[in-house]
A and B are shown apart, each in its own frame.
Chain A
Amino acid sequence: MSEYSIIGKPTPNVDGPAKVTGEARYTIDMTLPHMLYGKLLRSPYPHARILSIDTSAAEKLPGVKAVITGKDTPGGKWGLWRRFRELSDQQALATDKVRFIGDPVAAVAATTEEIAERALDLIEVDYEPLPAVFDPIEAIKDDAPMVHEDFPSNINATRHIEWGDVDAAFAKADYIREDRFVLEAAHPCAMEVHNSLASYDKGTGRLTVWTSTGSPYFVQQNLADALKMREGDIRVIKPHVGGHFGGKNSTMPDSVNAAILSMKTGRPVKIVFNRDEEFTTTEHRTAQHMALKLGLKKNGEIVAFEVKAMTNGGAYTGLGATTLYLTGTFITMPYKIPNYRYDGVRTYTNIVWGTSIRGFGSVPGKYCSETQLDRAAKDLGIDPLEIRRINAVAPGYTAPGQYTFESCGIQPCIEKMAVRVKEKWPKIEQDEGIGYCAFAYMTGGIFNWIDTPYAYSSAHIKVNWDGTVDLYSQAADVGQGHNTVAAMICAEELGIGLDDIRLHMGDTAHAYTDLGAWGSRETLMNGNAIKDAAAQVKQKLIDIARMKLGENIAYDFVARDKRVFLELRPERGVSYYDLVKDAIRHNDGVPLTGTGHYTPHNKGMISPAYAMGIMAIKAKVDRETGHVTAQDVLVVHDSGQIINPLGARGQTEGCIHMGLGYGLCEEMPMDQGMLLNPEFVDYKILRTRDMPEIEIMHVPTYEPNGPFGAKEAAEATIAPAAPSLANAIYQACGAEFFSNVLKPEKVLKAIRAKEAQNNATSQAKK
């Protein structure tokens, strides 16, 4: 009999039936009586001063109810780095100048979407184009145009991390290699585009916003800043969300302008971005330049590592500054690196801005470090899996001043991988190779740049007379399955069934704060808060049970299978439902409640817990076309105690899909700040038939900081996909890559460069 009755059992998503039958309501499905449709007019220039805007013709178009420009907005700026007010750099509509192609300059509300769109054509904006800058290396030059006047050299954020004596360690290293990389941007491509429905009540002065977001509380805070209102006068509701992938943390101009237009018209206003707007004006995974210097002993032990990153931040901050910060951290994991230095710079440029896309801070960096490690291993004659085993950390490892791994299964993961690879792929054919990448990722971030005064996560539960439980939290299910995890944790703690739980999630008016779904935080942080709330109720039930049974104070009770009973004598117990009735009677008719919360303390700078593991990809390269086929993926994952194995599997497969897309085909080519592929015809996403078989094995550990020992499972496995693939190609044919996106032509060139190099070497030998 397993320790748990619900945790660890494959559990279908609690939202599944509603989603597959079409019953589930997303923001995009919603309408309200008298609702207007909003549209944004956007800048065609990457950088320009606004000289004048004439809205008179648009206002005269029948069906148009409001046309606004920057001067009509409350003028508050907002951002996610609220702790540093100068980084609150977003605004509803540009006032003085536009900073990227797509920066909104005016907004229209009309009775139909078509009229709103026609009205945009009637607004005349007079621009004075300004010189623009698109690349971070250009942006920091003295004569570069300034994107924001108060940020010299366009430096948006910097990050320095250092421990040990890096220079001394390099001086003593047996082997040093330096590599430079250029990483391409990628878009999260959520199926549900950014959209918001705002309804302002002029009588009370209160605002309600339904929006497709990963964090209702972030939107509430940001709207308060943007509209110069009190947070408490704004209610944000997150209905079902059709995909987040990191692109829905920032508050975007849809919700802010819908709110302003609703204030102007007194009617509900809905703004839905079209796919073109989604690609060109919403946040993406940042393009960046990286330079890595690695020092090793002859035996492959890492002695020193130096990393420089320069990210193409774009026009605003978002969570891009956090990404820069984390890039310096995750690139070191899960290895013992005694001497380390990181310098990161995020620059403002005249493009749409980059942010916290799934696996943020790990994806570009790991691509560089893990492909570099393979080259180093080859030079030193060490097996690629062995060099990872030699350097992998052990439980309790601390990176000075940064992070500590409490639970840590990386070594057993690597051992299991070594065994499984031999069984699974006994023979490697011509032009095939196996590539590896070890990885680790946070389970929720500790940093508080959003400046929340509240606990990082909270949950409230109310147990009703009939035993049903209402669970309230602002925690966000964005498709990752958190609702299921939340219900499972609550049910397990109370010893009841999933059918006893009613979820009321993602509404700022009905629940205490949770910071939302980003950095893989919900399972651990919200899970701890829910477990805390449920444990309080459980204790009340145990107290009543003890009283009823007249048991010795020293005996322990458990709640399980809808009963509360003595741990050592399970036959002595009371029905959960009877206990609830008694408890409410004893409590003067008040339902049982518990309010739990969680904020990490004394857990370093990054996260209370880290999921980790190793990935292997077997791939084949076509030497004539340059086509790369990822044939098979093997993951050995330490995700702590898995709460829902079905959910964990779905998340891992999704990560590998996104990660392989990053490695193979997803890119955002731009010309003078103009995106060249803003639709799915040209933006390439892997389809079902392009996906390899995926085998996932778990090495369970018990994470002391997680609910029931759990760690994250939604993000760690994205970063290793692309480097494992590139390493597989390197093993197959020696072709080397210093950039992601292995499009066939690039692969073919790399193969020919390698062949030319080999020919030159063999000529020289003769």
Chain B
Amino acid sequence: MKTIITDFNYLAAKTLDEALDLLCKHKDDDYRIIAGGQSLNTAMKHRLLTPEYILDIKGVADLDYVRFDEKEGLKIGALATHRSVELSPVVREKYEVLREMEENVASIETRNWGTLMGDLCNADPAVDPAPPLIALDAEITVSAKGEERTVPAEEFAVDFFETVVQPGEMATEIRVPPLPPNTGVHFMKYSQIHGDYALASASVLITLDAAKEQCVNARIGLGGVGVTPIRAKKAEEVLKGKKITDEVLAEAARVASEETSPISGIEASADYKRELAGTLVRRVGKEALERARRA
């Protein structure tokens, strides 16, 4: 109902090259890229953002895909919507955790419009996809005219609503490696209302040895408990090389909550969120362990 009243110049690209050309040309201008528009429109209606240029990439061919191959794993294009990731058969089969995550992203209407990449680029600290992508050791491809680089998921966001993507660049693809054998991964977010922003979220990946006794690798991603999503590396160390018991999980949870630096808000205090992150790590870790044993 609120209207966008500031003028902007509208640019549209049909191919990735065109988009990268336009980005190169407007590198020094105040611009924003629009795909699904689920965050950008709201920010502009509230005049939090008043860009001079809007680059619409919705029509760019070949960026809307969810693909998988055994060697390279899962690839998600910049224009793949949350809903298409959620409904993808290969995601369901190979990366169940991403489907579980998507099911609780906002509402179906929002997931139909919003892209997973757009969500990452908006860089809300409570962004849902970040923790599982961190746990899955995903990488994000960032492209510019004539060049390309990849960034680990945990390094993608650098501050509150800020990413590594520089002027002239665009995030184009998410790559998730194939899961090693004997690996279980799980994600939970907690919000009082279904589909709401997380007060805290956690994703844990556990890989067990061949005997399914000892933890050989662990990765933990947390959301909503800092200025960016974070990887809880110290907590991962607590798990690695051990036979995971309830006591070990509780210790990892304690260490993980110490790694957080949440901000108090109207929904909950920083102390509550810190404790919540630990609780989630313990619960999610237990389920990830079960899954690793069944894998």
Contacts and interface: CB of A to CB of B under 8 A. Distances in A.
A690 B196 CA distance: 11
Contacts of B196: 684
A669 B2 contact: no
Contact of A275 (B1, B192, B197, B269): B1
Contacts of A602: none
A113 B45 CA distance: 13
Interface string A690-701: 100000000000
A625 B3 contact: no
Interface string B169-206: 00000000000000000000010111111010000000
Contacts of A567: none
A743 B266 CA distance: 10
B250 to A, nearest CB: 12
A273 B267 CA distance: 26
B192 A743 contact: yes
Interface residues of B, number: 21
B279 A276 contact: no
B187 to A, nearest CB: 16
A275 B1 CA distance: 7
B161 interface: no
Contacts of A624: 279
B3 A113 contact: yes
A748 B272 contact: yes
Secondary structure at the A interface, as helix, strand, loop or mixed, is loop
A744 B2 contact: no
A199 B192 CA distance: 46
A115 to B, nearest CB: 9
A139 interface: no
A677 B190 contact: no
A392 interface: no
Nearest to B199: A744
B268 interface: yes
Contacts of A144: none
A342 B197 CA distance: 42
Contact of A677 (B192, B193, B266, B269): B266
Interface string A716-757: 000000000000000000000000000111001000000000
A272 interface: yes
Contact of A689 (B194, B269, B272): B194
Contact of A686 (B42, B193, B199): B193
Nearest to B280: A625
Nearest to B4: A114
A118 interface: yes
Interface string A624-638: 111100000000000
Contacts of A117: 3, 5
Contact of B193 (A118, A273, A685): A685
B276 interface: yes
A743 B194 contact: no
Nearest to A684: B193
Contacts of A118: 5
Contact of B192 (A113, A273, A681, A684): A684
A626 B190 CA distance: 11
A626 B195 CA distance: 18
A664 interface: yes
A690 B3 contact: no
A687 B268 contact: no
A78 to B, nearest CB: 26
A599 to B, nearest CB: 40
A690 B266 contact: no
Interface residues of A, number: 31
A415 interface: no
Interface string B266-288: 11110010001001000000000
Given A624-B279, A744-B199, A744-B268, A690 B1 contact: no
B276 A625 contact: yes
A687 B193 contact: yes
Interface in B1-17: 1-3, 5
Given A193-B1, A624-B279, A665 B266 contact: no
Contacts of A590: none
A274 interface: yes
Contacts of A193: 1
B96 to A, nearest CB: 20
Q: Which of A114, A627, A745, A748 has the most CB of B within 10 A?
A: A745
A547 interface: no
A748 B275 CA distance: 11
Interface in A658-697: 664-665, 669, 676-677, 681-682, 684-687, 689-690
A218 B233 CA distance: 64
Contacts of A748: 272
B3 A745 contact: no
Given A624-B279, A748-B272, A665 B193 contact: yes
Contacts of B2: 274-276
Interface string A208-237: 000000000000000000000000000000
Nearest to B191: A684
B95 to A, nearest CB: 23
Contacts of A627: 190, 192
Contact of B279 (A114, A275, A625, A743): A625
26 contacts: A113-B3, A114-B5, A117-B5, A118-B5, A272-B1, A273-B1, A274-B2, A275-B1, A625-B190, A625-B276, A627-B190, A627-B192, A665-B192, A669-B266, A681-B42, A682-B266, A684-B196, A684-B267, A687-B107, A687-B193, A687-B194, A689-B194, A689-B195, A744-B190, A744-B272, A745-B269
Given A114-B5, A743-B267, 8 more contacts: A625-B276, A627-B192, A687-B107, A744-B192, A744-B268, A744-B276, A745-B269, A745-B272
